[in-house]
Amino acid sequence: GQQVMQIPQYQHVQEGEDFTTYCNSSTTLSNIQWYKQRPGGHPVFLIQLVKSGEVKKQKRLTFQFGEAKKNSSLHITATQTTDVGTYFCAGPLAYQLIWGAGTKLIIKP
Amino acid sequence: ETGVTQTPRHLVMGMTNKKSLKCEQHLGHNAMYWYKQSAKKPLELMFVYNFKEQTENNSVPSRFSPECPNSSHLFLHLHTLQPEDSALYLCASSQDEGNDEKLFFGSGTQLSVL
């Protein structure tokens, strides 16, 4: 069936290192959304990408939407402890929002 | 505070109990959703309501029964649940129903079925 695959499942980084999560769809998406869920919290909307090849930045976060509108990435530069959480992508497929399984960002002590 | 309030935050119930989850949104949105979040699985859409009419039932077992008396309130009635139903149940709302709509989530109800 139609899916949104997200990798990796976990990423352990030292504070100050970069972090990237990737999202791939089996079909072309009209848009893609990204959410962040802090430990013990609920998903919070970060951004929506609509255009082919679109790149948007929010401070240390860079979001990209692929040219074919089938993949997307979120890159965090110089991670901080406040970045800890699980990052989800979600794309509309068959009139529903289909979610990736999330990438958990863990900062090594 | 997201403008979407869920109660209770935690719920433990036996398989023969009946309980209800409540969600209220103060954002003036027209669409409301129930999602199930289990460990290591993607969020699963359960139900969608638009202007208090159910528009989506994602093959959810009948032991989950939603109710939407108005655009601001959403309930999930639970009865004879199974241990595999233990999960975080999230309510969300959006301005309108649509795949490009931004979702606002409540804090969720962590449900444990014994």
pLDDT in tens, B14-32: 888 899 999 999 999 999 9
Residue A53 CB coordination number (10 Å)? 11
Beta-carbon separation of A48 and B108 below 8 A? no
Contacts of A9 in chain B (CB under 8 A): 40
Beta-carbon separation of B42 and A102 below 8 A? yes
More confident residue, B52 or A11: A11
Q: pLDDT tens-digit profile of A35-44?
A: 999 999 999 9
Query: Band of the pLDDT at B52, cuts 50, 70, 90?
Result: confident
Residue A69 pLDDT: 96
Beta-carbon separation of B43 and A4 below 8 A? no
Residues in chain B: 114
Query: Is the pLDDT confidence value at B99 over 80?
Result: no
Question: What is the DSSP track for A43-88?
Answer: EEEEEEE-STT-EEEETTEEEEE-TTSSEEEEEESS--GGG-EEEE
Which stretches of B1-114 are assigned E, i.e. beta strand?
Answer: 4-7, 10-13, 18-25, 31-37, 44-50, 53-57, 64-70, 73-79, 87-94, 104-105, 109-113
Residue B1 pLDDT: 59
Residue A40 pLDDT: 92
Query: Band of the pLDDT at A52, cuts 50, 70, 90?
Result: very high
